[in-house]
Structure 1
Amino acid sequence: MTTTRLSTLLGDALRRQRELHSLTQRELADRAEVSQTTVARVERGVQTPNMATLERLFAAVDAQLTVGLEPLDAHVDAAIVELTARPVAERIAAAGVDKAMDGLGDIPFVFDGPTAALLQGAPVPVPAVDIALAWRDADAFTEWLTRKYAHRWHEKWQEFGYLALDPREPGAHRWQTMVGEIRARMLDELPEAIEIRHGERRYRVVPLAEVEITDARAAGLLRRYRRQRAESPLGARRVGSAG
């Protein structure tokens, strides 16, 4: 049941082909002689069936699988290249930062991790909005998660499920909500923050130097970005303001 990059890619490909053929999950399941549950779980990336079943699923939408190789994590480098070419405002919108900020309302927080790096100009992928919160605001945050019909990340099953929402309860500090996925770093006190302005909006963020120390994901993405920038003089001149 573990979600992997490959299972996510397979699920996305199957869903696109099914929608291209205007099929429901039930109709595809009937064509491939599998259950609708199997189709749903494959499309969500939480189940990778055996090769025979995969071939039947794709054959049912007039497609077949091919096998190829690429350098490890090449998709991350490709995402950074793609983001580099986009204006910062587009990157922020695509990451759902404003939607999350408006949704969180009066809960005290600062942007953290890859999200803070993005807001400070680094063209890094942001699959979830990262924030830092103080433990004293755990009750307010839990109430907010409840109102936003949140599901918490289940480490064992590698999917969002019906776990206790309270960050003080055991579990990953990662939730799927009505405003997108939220990842929280819970601290005794909010970290020192700086204010970043984009357009008419202001964002309180953890400084980039601190982000690199406290968040291994962000540090790894920034290393990849800087390596690309160093290897491409044109790219360095175009996006050199990200530090």
Structure 2
Amino acid sequence: MPESSRLATDIAAILRRERHVQRLTQRQLADRAGVSQSAVARIERGERVPAIPLVERLFAALGRQLAVTVEQLDSHLDAEMDALAGRSPADRLDELGLDRLLDRLGELPHLLTGSTAALLQGAPVPVDAVEIAVRWRDSARFTAWLTVAYGQRWNARWGEFGGLYLEPEEPGEHHWMTRYGEIRAQMCDEFPEAIEVRHGERSYRVVPLVAVELTDPRAAALLRRHRQRAVDGRTPDIGPTARTGR
């Protein structure tokens, strides 16, 4: 078994979600299951597939049990994209809380990038956080905003938000939870060429899809899958209304 796999990642995500739903800390879940807090943390980091008896024990402590099935490779992504393709961009943007977060960013210079930029340009890709590009020279302003927004940084070691310095210069993923929602940052020396897209009464400055695919492996993989599905006739191709500009 490889050191990490989608199965390990899925188990980690489901365990975190169920624990958060029940408002339990890792320590509280560990006490319920009669295991160590470090064991819970290891599983939630998703670094490797854990022992099945341990996983069953943790889910039982949450009143849950695992169900095992098989499916076509990565078919979960196809199913998710099919579901997203049937939803309006306005609904998805509202669910993401994009406008509220952008309004709170105020004068902080930024561009929308990653899967958020792809969504705004018509791609039905999953988006779980607002993704922005921020220049390194604006790092101090970004840190000040995160402080005001009660930001907590993603701690990959513990599989939770918190316990790390907010500053982007400090080690750790550029991923924070704030009072306005989750935000990921792609730190850069200079902004790439931007385009402007419009939804409803609002315009958004975004990184073009070509640049997204070159700079964001996570979003690039989803976009390649989306385009292949369009070639195969399984989903409509991307067709944003956009104009170029700085």
**TM-score by structure 2 length?**
0.77
CA spacing shift, 1:187–1:147, aligned 2, 3 Å? same
Q: Which residue of 1 aligns with 2:120?
A: 119
Query: In terms of mean alpha carbon deviation, does 105-114 or 152-161 score higher?
Result: 152-161
Change (3 A) 1:155 1:54: closer
Cα drift, residue 64 of structure 1: 4.2
Structure-1 separation of matches of 2:101 and 2:160:
21
What does 1:75-154 correspond to in 2, within 5 Å? 75-154=76-155
**1:140/1:11 CA distance change after superposition, 3 Å:** closer
Query: Are residues 49 and 140 of structure 1, via their aligned partners in 2, closer, same or farther at CA, if it must alter by over 3 Å?
Result: same
CA distance in 2, matches of 1:104, 1:54: 40
% of aligned pairs identical?
A: 46
Instruction: Name whichever of 206-215 and 4-13 sits farther off.
Output: 4-13
Q: Deviations over 1:140-185 (max 9, x none)?
A: 1100111111111223334322211111222221111112221111
Alignment of 1:11-26 (within 5 A): 11-12=16-17
Assess if the C-alpha contact under 8 Å between 2:18 and 2:62 holds in 1: no
Structure 2's unaligned 5+ residue stretches are 242-246
Instruction: Name the CA distance, whole Å, in 1 between partners of 2:200 and 2:180.
Output: 21
Who is 1:217 aligned against?
218
User: Which residue does 1:5 correspond to in 2?
Assistant: 10
- Quick check: 1:150–1:177 contact (8 Å CA) kept in 2? yes
**Could you tell me which residue of structure 1 aligns to residue 169 of structure 2?**
168
Q: Is the 8 A contact 1:154 1:171 kept in 2?
A: yes
Q: Does the 8 A contact of 1:25 with 1:36 survive in 2?
A: no
Once the two structures are superposed, what CA deviation does each residue of 1:64-113 show, in whole Å capped at 9, x if it has no partner? 43311223432222211111111111122222322221221111111011
Higher helix fraction (1 or 2): 1
Q: Give the alignment's Cα RMSD to 1 decimal.
A: 3.3
- Give the Cα separation in 2 of the matches to 1:100 and 1:37: 37
Task: Pick closer, same or farther for the CA change 1:46–1:219 going to 2, 3 Å.
Answer: closer
- Partners of 2:155 and 2:64 lie apart in 1 by 33
1:14 is displaced (CA, Å) by 7.0
Per the TM alignment, residue 213 of structure 1 is displaced from its structure 2 partner at its CA by 1.3
Distance change >3 Å, CA 164–CA 56, structure 1 → 2: closer
Which whole-Å CA distance do the structure 1 matches of 2:24 and 2:113 have between them? 38
In structure 1, the residue matched to 2:244 is none
Residue 224 of structure 1, CA deviation? 0.9
- Aligned AA for 2:212? V
2:184 aligned counterpart, secondary structure? strand
Q: Structure 1: which 5+ runs fail to align?
A: none
Q: TM-score, normalised by structure 1?
A: 0.77
